[in-house]
Amino acid sequence: MLIELTAVNKYYQNGENRFQVLQDINLKIAAGEFLTIMGPSGAGKTSLINLIGFIDRSYLGSYKFNGQSYQTASDSALAHIRNQSVGFVFQNFKLIGNNTILENVELPLLYGGMTKKKARPIVERALERVGLPNSSQKIPNELSGGQQQRVAIARALVHQPKFIIADEPTGALDSKTSSEIMQIFKELNQTEQTTIVLVTHDPQVSQYGERLIKLLDGAIIADEEVKHHALL
Amino acid sequence: MRFSEIWSTALRSILKNKRRSILTMLGIIIGIASVVTILAIGDGFSNWVTKSITNNKAGKVETQIVYSPNETANSSADSYNDRDLMLVRQVTGIAKVRQTSEDSDYNQIALPVKTKNKNVLIHYTSHASSPVIAGRRLTTTDNAIGNQVAVIDASLAKSLYGGATNALHHGVPIDNQLYEIVGVRSAVSSSVNFSDAVNGTVPANITIPKKVHQKFTQNTASGDLLVLSLRKGAKASTVNRRVINVLKAQGSMRNQGEYQSADPAAEADTFGKILSVITYFITAVAGISLFIAGIGVMNMMYISVAERTTEIGIRRAMGARQHDIRLQFLLESATLTIFGGLIGYGLGVLLAVAISALPMMPFQASFSFGAFALAFGVSTAVGLIFGVMPANAAARKDLIEIIR
């Protein structure tokens, strides 16, 4: 099992009040799955993916990645496992504004120890893969939102991670661009068996996945196969 | 990430903010430039002083001890014996001791000829003089006994007394003493000048026995000299004082005369003092400038960290360790100050060259590798010291907070 969460609880201490953000989460994700997490604001979606993506390790319970726990790992070890295993796609793209597309996309490779020279052809291939060839010298502001999100996807997959975490990747995009972006995720999952964990508000978006988890007040209230409607 | 990649990231972020980077560098540039300028001028100045007070080619500092006998002293006795020399040689700070006479073998004096003064070259010799055309030569006996005699050249004889033979047994006044003309040599070309004479044996207008000349002059300025070559780093005035103390206590002639220091390097001490005061002053000003520049760098780095929080978050999410982030910001501030240091060094060199090109400057600025190393080292240190805190602040940011 790629990802295995058992009895995970997480609390925020806010002054006197202790606020529970995750309640007794039990979740298994196998390699090659396309998992969608839905839920209203404050349901704990972001907390859950931060935990899965090795950004947050202050939780109770057990999270095993490939059978191994990183809860007590050092910051450096955590950075390393993030670099090797996870690709992140964010709602607001999170590209470094005054760096070129090339410099943005090559980051995971460089932090993995690669030289710029070696990284460049790999970056070009990743950009081609998301439909943005010949744009490596542009800066993010020269691109549309949809194109920026494509760059972010290229950055998330350039180092061939074990899974990609996408946190509302279509939240800032119009519906046409959204479906283009979702098409890329779907293709990635189907042709390359990339494991994808996707968070969204949008029921339309959840149609692209195979498995749907619904969160409410920090607890999983539903875990089901996606019933595919006719896609737009 | 590899060090080279982190560094090129840092470099790019400096270049992307050119105006802010240059303004931040300004303090470093001014500080380093002023230090480099004063060092170059100071080195040039002290080279010049050393050269002008020492005649030996090795550039070593030499000082002198003069012995002046009392009126009653036996003037033929040697001023220093071997034991004296040995004692002096043992004084710390002395590399070499040489006994010599202050007198040069040649001198140029103004001789009253008829109504005018004429510049003539005198040769003091202890040997026999050149062949003569009338009368006799000087002999070693003249020198040994102390005969007050002179050989003059034909042209001088002609202008003084109308002819070579007429001049014989007349007097010629030198240093207020009358010397008897015993011989006349062939005319000496008037184009011979003083500096030629110093470089070799040159025919002189007047030749007189050395010892006779010394007898008349030694009570005023002469007396035998000890030339002391100093060891590197030894201070002229200190060594001279030590040597005089030794000689006053144990010198062979301590009861017949007086030992004095004739110290051409004492001036150098004074110059050196003035120079070091100026250097300290400029260094203090530059130090303050560099400190303030450092604070400027720190301030800019804090601003940079604050406005690049998202970038830090992205980098951390992509696998940057705290160490990578710290190194990136540290290299950024160090690169900034090293650039400033190099520009400052260049500016300092230009300034020093410009100053030494001024017509009133008698010396050239001198540039050492030490000054370059200092500029480089100080600017690197400022960047690292004032960059550590902002870099740590950047590295310690909580990823969960900044990735939202």
3-class secondary structure per residue, B201-258: CCCCCEEEEHHHHHHHHCCCCCCEEEEEEECCCCCHHHHHHHHHHHHHHHCCCCCCEE
- Quote the CA–CA distance of A192 and A13 in Å, as a whole number: 41
Looking at domain A31-47+73-225, its CATH class is alpha beta
Residues of A with CB below 8 A from B403's CB? 50, 55, 90, 94
Nearest to A112 among B311, B313, B319 (CB): B319
Q: Do B314 and A107 touch (CB under 8 A)?
A: yes
Least confident of A45-49, A119-123, B152-156, B193-197: B193-197
Q: What is the mean pLDDT of residues B175-182?
A: 84
**Distance linking the first and last C-alpha atoms of chain B:** 24
What's the confidence (pLDDT) of residue B220?
A: 41
- The one-letter amino acid code at B54 reads T
CB contact under 8 A, A111 and B319: yes
The pLDDT-based confidence of B254 (bands split at 50, 70, 90) is: confident
**Least confident range of A214-223, B217-226, B369-378:** B217-226
The whole-angstrom separation of Cα B23 and Cα B30 is: 11
Mutate to test the interface with A, among B13, B21, B318, B325 (most CBs of A within 10 A): B318
pLDDT at residue B133 is higher than 90: no
Q: Which pLDDT belongs to residue B77?
A: 60
**Predicted pLDDT of residue B4:** 85
Query: Is residue B16 pLDDT above 90, yes or no?
Result: no
Among A55, A84, A112, beta carbon nearest to B399:
A55
Residue type, B204: A
Residues of A in contact with B316 (CB under 8 A): 79
**Alpha-carbon distance A49 to nearest alpha carbon in chain B (angstroms):** 11
Average pLDDT of the segment spanning B361-373: 84
For position B264, what pLDDT does the model report? Answer: 56
- Average pLDDT (B18-44) is 89
- Report the C-alpha gap between A164 and B279 in whole angstroms: 63
CA distance A42 to A23: 13
CA within 13 Å, CB half, A71? 12
**Range B230-247 average pLDDT:** 78
Q: Which of A151, A149, A153 is nearest to A192 (CA)?
A: A153
Quick one: tokens of A217? 């007040």
Q: Using an 8 Å CB-CB cutoff, list residues of chain A that contact chain B.
A: 46, 50, 53, 55-56, 75-76, 79-80, 82-84, 88, 90, 94-96, 98-99, 103, 107-108, 110-113, 115-116, 155
| Chain B residues interacting with chain A (CB cutoff of 8 angstroms) | 1-2, 4-5, 8, 12-13, 16, 310-311, 313-324, 399-400, 403-404
Burial class (CB in 10 A: 0-12, 13-18, 19+), A232: exposed
Provide the residue ranges of all domains of chain A, joining segments of one domain with +: 31-47+73-225
pLDDT (average), residues B186-195: 59
A107 interaction partners in chain B (CB closer than 8 Å): 314-315, 318
Q: Mind giving me the DSSP string for A24-84?
A: EEEEEE-TT-EEEEE--TTSSHHHHHHHHTTS----EEEEEETTEE-TT--HHHHHHHHHH
**Which of A82, A94, A115 minimises the CB distance to B2?**
A115
**CA-based nearest residue in chain A for residue B317:** A82
- Residue B360: pLDDT band with limits 50, 70, 90: confident
Tens-place pLDDT, residues B309-329: 999 999 999 999 999 999 999
Q: How far apart are CA A194 and CA B238, in angstroms?
A: 85
Helix (H) or strand (E) holding A10: strand A3-14
Range B220-243 average pLDDT: 70
Does A108 contact B319 at a Cβ distance shorter than 8 Å? yes
Q: Cα torsion for B364, B365, B369, B373, to the nearest 10°?
A: 180
Distance CA B34, CA B47 (A): 20
Q: Is the pLDDT of residue B228 over 90?
A: no
Total count of residues recorded for chain B: 404
Q: Looking at per-residue confidence, does B56 or A18 come out higher?
A: A18
| Res B222: pLDDT | 41
The verdict on a CB contact (< 8 Å) between A80 and B321 is yes
Predicted confidence (pLDDT) per residue in B64-104, tens digit: 777 776 766 555 566 777 788 788 888 877 877 777 665 56
* Burial of B359 (C-beta count, 10 Å sphere; 0-12/13-18/19+): exposed
The DSSP 8-state label assigned to residue B200 in this structure reads S
The answer to whether the beta carbons of residues B337 and B27 sit under 8 Å apart is no
DSSP state at residue B189: P
Asked whether the beta carbons of B182 and B151 are under 8 A apart, the reply is yes
Chain A nearest C-alpha distance from B333 (Å): 18
pLDDT over threshold 90, residue B332: yes
- Give chain A's end-to-end CA distance (angstroms, integer): 33
Q: How far apart are CA B244 and CA B249, in angstroms?
A: 8
Beta-carbon contacts of A230 under 8 Å, excluding residues fewer than 6 positions away, are: none
Pick the residue from chain A with its C-alpha nearest to B314.
A94
Which residue out of A46, A52, A107, A115 would a mutagenesis test of the B interface target, given it has the greatest number of B Cβ atoms within 10 Å?
A107
Out of 3.30.70.100, 3.40.50.300, 3.10.20.600, 3.30.70.20, the CATH code matching B55-102+223-264 is: 3.30.70.100
The segments of chain A whose pLDDT lies below 50 read 232
User: Is residue B150's pLDDT more than 60?
Assistant: yes
Distance in Å, alpha carbon of A142 to nearest chain B alpha carbon: 17
Cα B276 to Cα B269: distance, rounded to the nearest angstrom: 10
Place of tokens 């089901």: A224
Average pLDDT, chain B: 80
Domain spans of chain B, in order of start = 3-51+269-402, 55-102+223-264, 106-217
Nearest to A227 by CA among A3, A36, A7, A6: A36
Name the DSSP class of B318: T
Residue B390: pLDDT over 70: yes
- Of the two residues B257 and A131, the one the predictor is more confident about is A131
* Residue B397, min C-alpha distance to chain A (Å): 12
A158 touches A126 (CB < 8 A): yes
Give mean pLDDT, residues B382-400: 94
Residues A160 and A150: their CA atoms lie apart, in Å, by 16
Please report the pLDDT score of residue A112 as a whole number: 92
